[in-house]
Chain A
């Protein structure tokens, strides 16, 4: 509308002469424009307030007061549901679009009460759980109140339990939703599908293209990659307080707690109990409970009464057997108790199986093998059982414990499909937080020995020791695999020497001037570094021979994800002071190498510059010390691997005390370095450094063999 208005306005202004007979025309035109403007204004201000006052933001309005919608008996009903639907065929991605946050927008229809022609309600208006579910979505980041911007629509028609609704009329109610459009991009939540006697494994309500988050899918009704398999929520999750019980062996090896088990299977289970005695416990409904006792909270075996779900915590494995439906609420209780579920339900699609690795938390046994189940479980190593118990409990905490958890996991799965490149990783879905915290994920995980051809880039950090710097440059340039030399000139008050004064070497030499005299400048991922391998070397390390450096590079090639360096250092636990201590004496162990002379991957420069945790970077720059210790922490933390010290000990001129000269300050220096270790360990929240007792030497080092036949003869001279 706006565009046409503008065109019309501009039109007359551009025509210099107007004829009188056009006057009426223009006046009409302007009235139209004005009317349009007023209408625009109305549109701007009115509808929002209408919508919000009638449907939204009104707190404390009773469910009984929601608007009633009468469905004529002949109102249209959706198609039955298309089993071949997949995201690329039935889902409209254009509604979701590309957005920088990679997050879908979910709209919830307002709550209505549907009645048929006779005024009889179609279903319960809304259940406690579905209300919770919609509240969770509306409180989440996914929610939008703008129907035009929504990618996914959630009807407020409650279909969680098929038994509480009238199928045909519910379908008609769905069909009259304002954006229904054959159910495209609509998501229905259902936990109890089917009804007697067949118990279909998916919701029977015709729903055309709508996605179904269902609680009891079998492999034949589940549209892989389209539907979402969700758990059947157990109301006990909220009602009962069950303190966590750690993993480990428990009183019963195998427990069955379900009440609605088909007699055939109960027979099999009881046979197991008879065969294996006390380690198997098969519980059933209690028959003679006194009045007032909640029978759902009790289970019995013969005349013994057990508390449910507490009894689940007494068992290592718990049977989750199919009933009339495949999905069972007991799965949730079992997981919560840290009992490993033994799922015996052929063709059942486990909850969230698209993203959860159930093999780590459960044992799936074919129904046919129900009587072999004991033997199967006994073959599982104890450590694996404990791992599974931990994992089971974690699944419950993350994805089962509340309706909110179930709703958000469902939306996240759909979100992952629409933005697959921003999807949560396997680890994010499956690893418990404790594991996430302690485990490492090496960014250079591929076992790769890079060929020699690329060589390495030497980076010399220098301030003003030009003479010594030139000697280092000359020495390093003799190393065959050197491909480039980068001098980081850290002195802002002084210009580097003129080009003509620099030593002439066979590889390119570049000087980078820095803006500030910071130690972290040595670890900046300069564009000039074109090789993977970086040799960090101080401007006073002139004692390393060409053989030693070349050998260091060869060792780095075999360990490209580690720090490979010359002077080694150690951290120790000081039992008297109760803190970490830095050690540079002649020790039998190494946990750090100094970056005054060390090879490492350029990736770690990037990591140091952009991903250093906490305030470590600033601390280093402020103290003008410990950048090497910080680098050792960083690499060890991310790779979980130890450093490699190469070649025998040399007399380095106290390489780490470049800033301080003289032996008297040595003591202060050590104290400061110890402080660094303690500081870094507290920032990292752990001590990532690994202690080893080995160093790398050439294969023929000190062997009784002609020196000239050795690849690296000149090693270890002092």
Chain B
């Protein structure tokens, strides 16, 4: 070909290219200006319409979507009686369509409230440890009843946890065993716990027997099978999960910036084929070996070699290089991909380790999703968008990471750290459904101290609890003094009368209640000194120790100043303690401080009233706390502990400290120097005093250990500081000091 033509071809090719660029450029510019416009309107925010109207503006007078007379005038007599309709519903909506409205008998709960019956265990039935723990948790709870006629909810004693036919724990012939229970009633008002269902290869969610109208508390439940407001999704937990107490979360420091060595980690099995294998098989695309470490191994099961693919060997070597524990503690996010089933152990592990879970399990109804708002503690990913996960989590603001991480710890400790918590959460959720108008709102469930410690039966108003003042305004301005009287009134110089006068003189005192727990009859009204505030005398019904913590209706204030009759306290001290309590309304604030310690030689908890550099209890002989703790003491604690206190007539103050610290996870607060030396000055105060009993101290030691074993851990926490008035013992004229009396003592 001639050179000229060649040049022509080149030239035209060049011009074509140029034209292409030109058009391409146009398009690019157009799209740029387009996106600029979007940005503009984006900045304007939701409520400022952008200047261009895309939807045409019609000049016509359009007709409303519903004529007025139609909206409020459906002919109501035509449609069937609502009562009939209700009855019809309960016969139509069965099985997969079960809801509380159609499959639950509310009338059983009407008379006795929310009581749970557990079938007696039959001889010869083997029950795996996990299920034993579940049953024990129910039996130890305040909901338990041994009388089926009082029960609102029934729990089987047949182990339904593992319904995988290949599992050694699998219970055979469950169908007939269940059908033969005479209380079964086609599963109505029954709750069935299940962790594993289905088996290889399809892992269905069928539990292998007809559950009738029973509710399921099931792990790994899918949104398709989950019957909202009927079933409860529970987390998958291992057989080593502690029955009570449970480990605390691993988060010790809120380090800033809140990023850890690894951004995202995972270490687990890969299934190669079959259900649930896709996501884990694809993980290697995202693994970068630096801050995103996603490791899988093919080495599990007997014949893994048979199915192994080309990547297995490489994956397996990479897998061996990293330590799971180390990764868990040093990662900001933890991937929680589905396994064969939707839920996996990774979930709770990540939660405890304060490693923010990144869920990759499409269709998993997350544990307790009815009440827990998981967006505050986890990142809900989509298996289909696996490749976007790294950029998604990198786009999460550090403030949000800080919040998500703390929330993992709150949720872990509030609802997951022990079998007991998981079971109680399940029961409370069901109770909230049955008594809808006295149930917890989402705020209670998702904020410290959580739903298990905030009982809506106390009040439906958040401001009546000590935990929400930060958002609802100031703590209450007044207190009620409750004096626990156990000795008869013989002289007018008795300490109890002085105490009463001193408390009454406080500017914050609203009223005084004398709890007459003395065998002698009530003294005449005129024997009590005249005070500016009302004095109410209540005669303790059974005169037991725990009665001092009953939530008496007579207590009209939120703050309670609890006093022993032999306490010596001045008005100034009362005033100061109350102002301190207003800053810490969720804690016990008071004078007599005590401490606990671990006695290595005896391998048990010890109690001491010696002078120490720290304390973990403030005794209720002279302490201010929120009235709600009276309610919690009476209704949350099990009868066994309260009976122990009543029988010993001792330890009620220790138990109260256990309870409050278990709720707040914080120590009490001791105010000023004053100490009460009762236990060390035995017999010097009044002869009848229980402090004079030599067994008294030994009892308190054993109380500590009984309480700690019920709680499953030691909730008490030490503090090294006390709070004094700002100018306490400062070298400044005493006249300048507001609480000068305190220094004179």
Q: Is the CB of A220 within 8 A of B93?
A: yes
By Cβ-Cβ distance, the 4 closest A-B pairs, closest first, are A139-B49, A138-B55, A384-B461, A127-B65
Q: With A127-B63, A263-B77, A379-B437 given, can you name 15 additional A-B contacts, CB distance below 8 Å?
A: A37-B23, A44-B26, A191-B65, A196-B79, A296-B68, A367-B82, A381-B464, A554-B721, A558-B721, A586-B732, A649-B730, A649-B731, A697-B721, A699-B670, A712-B613
Q: Is the CB of B460 within 8 A of A347?
A: no
* Surface stretch bound by A, among B179-187, B395-403, B496-504, B506-514: B395-403
**Which one, A140, A346, A408, A532, contacts B256 given CB within 8 A?**
A532
Q: Is the CB of A9 within 8 A of B665?
A: no
**Which one, A64, A423, A648, contacts B729 given CB within 8 A?**
A648
How many A-B contacts if CB must be within 8 Å?
Answer: 438
With A and B bound together, what is the CA distance between A12 and B49 in angstroms? 54
Known: A37-B23, A384-B461. A161 touches B74 (CB 8 A): no
Chain B interface residue count, CB cutoff 8 Å, equals 151
| Nearest CB in chain A to that of B666: its residue | A447
Contact with B along A2-33 (1 / 0, CB 8 A): 10011001101100011110110010001001
Q: Is the CB of A695 within 8 A of B723?
A: yes
Among A63, A124, A191, A605: residue with most chain B CB under 10 A: A63
Contact with B along A29-65 (1 / 0, CB 8 A): 0100110010011001000000000001111111110
Q: Is the CB of B23 within 8 A of A532?
A: no
| Nearest CB in chain A to that of B398: its residue | A606
Q: Is the CB of A603 within 8 A of B726?
A: no
Chain A interface residue count, CB cutoff 8 Å, equals 177
Q: Is the CB of A420 within 8 A of B613?
A: no
Q: In this assembly, does B598 line the interface, its C-beta being within 8 Å of a C-beta of chain A?
A: no
List of B residues within 8 angstroms of A357 by Cβ: 441-443
List of B residues within 8 angstroms of A141 by Cβ: 38, 41-42, 44-46
**Which one, B10, B58, B436, B726, contacts A13 given CB within 8 A?**
B10
Known: A219-B229, A697-B722, A711-B613. A560 touches B254 (CB 8 A): yes
With A and B bound together, what is the CA distance between A36 and B74 in angstroms? 62
With A and B bound together, what is the CA distance between A542 and B34 in angstroms? 63
List of B residues within 8 angstroms of A573 by Cβ: none
Chain B stretch 700-728: residues in CB contact (< 8 A) with chain A: 717, 719-728
With A and B bound together, what is the CA distance between A445 and B411 in angstroms? 13
Q: Is the CB of A161 within 8 A of B65?
A: yes
Q: In this assembly, does A620 line the interface, its C-beta being within 8 Å of a C-beta of chain B?
A: no
Q: In this assembly, does A439 line the interface, its C-beta being within 8 Å of a C-beta of chain B?
A: yes
Shortest distance from the beta carbon of A303 to any chain B beta carbon, whole Å: 21
Q: In this assembly, does A126 line the interface, its C-beta being within 8 Å of a C-beta of chain B?
A: yes
8 contacts between A and B (CB under 8 A): A18-B6, A63-B60, A127-B65, A191-B65, A198-B79, A366-B101, A448-B406, A450-B253
Q: Is the CB of B42 within 8 A of A420?
A: no
Contact with A along B72-99 (1 / 0, CB 8 A): 1111111111110010010001000101
Shortest distance from the beta carbon of B471 to any chain A beta carbon, whole Å: 4
Known: A60-B59, A586-B732, A589-B726. A259 touches B396 (CB 8 A): no
* Surface stretch bound by B, among A96-104, A205-213, A269-277, A623-631: A96-104
| Nearest CB in chain A to that of B384: its residue | A93
**Which one, A225, A259, A346, A376, contacts B101 given CB within 8 A?**
A346
Shortest distance from the beta carbon of A664 to any chain B beta carbon, whole Å: 24
Q: Is the CB of A426 within 8 A of B58?
A: no
Contact with B along A127-149 (1 / 0, CB 8 A): 11111001101111101010000
List of B residues within 8 angstroms of A670 by Cβ: none
**Which one, B380, B436, B667, contacts A366 given CB within 8 A?**
B436
Q: Is the CB of A37 within 8 A of B460?
A: no
* Surface stretch bound by B, among A83-91, A172-180, A461-469: A83-91
With A and B bound together, what is the CA distance between A368 and B59 in angstroms? 49
Q: In this assembly, does B685 line the interface, its C-beta being within 8 Å of a C-beta of chain A?
A: no
Contact with B along A549-591 (1 / 0, CB 8 A): 0010011001010000000100000000000000000111110
With A and B bound together, what is the CA distance between A709 and B379 in angstroms? 51
List of B residues within 8 angstroms of A442 by Cβ: 470
Q: Is the CB of B671 within 8 A of A450?
A: no
**Which one, A9, A145, A347, A408, contacts B54 given CB within 8 A?**
A145
With A and B bound together, what is the CA distance between A360 and B445 in angstroms? 13
List of A residues within 8 angstroms of B524 by Cβ: none
Q: In this assembly, does A694 line the interface, its C-beta being within 8 Å of a C-beta of chain B?
A: yes
Q: In this assembly, does A446 line the interface, its C-beta being within 8 Å of a C-beta of chain B?
A: yes
Q: Is the CB of A88 within 8 A of B363?
A: yes
Q: Is the CB of B13 within 8 A of A701?
A: no
**Which one, B26, B402, B459, B464, contacts A443 given CB within 8 A?**
B402
Chain A stretch 71-113: residues in CB contact (< 8 A) with chain B: 84, 86, 88-89, 93-94, 98, 100-101, 103, 108, 111
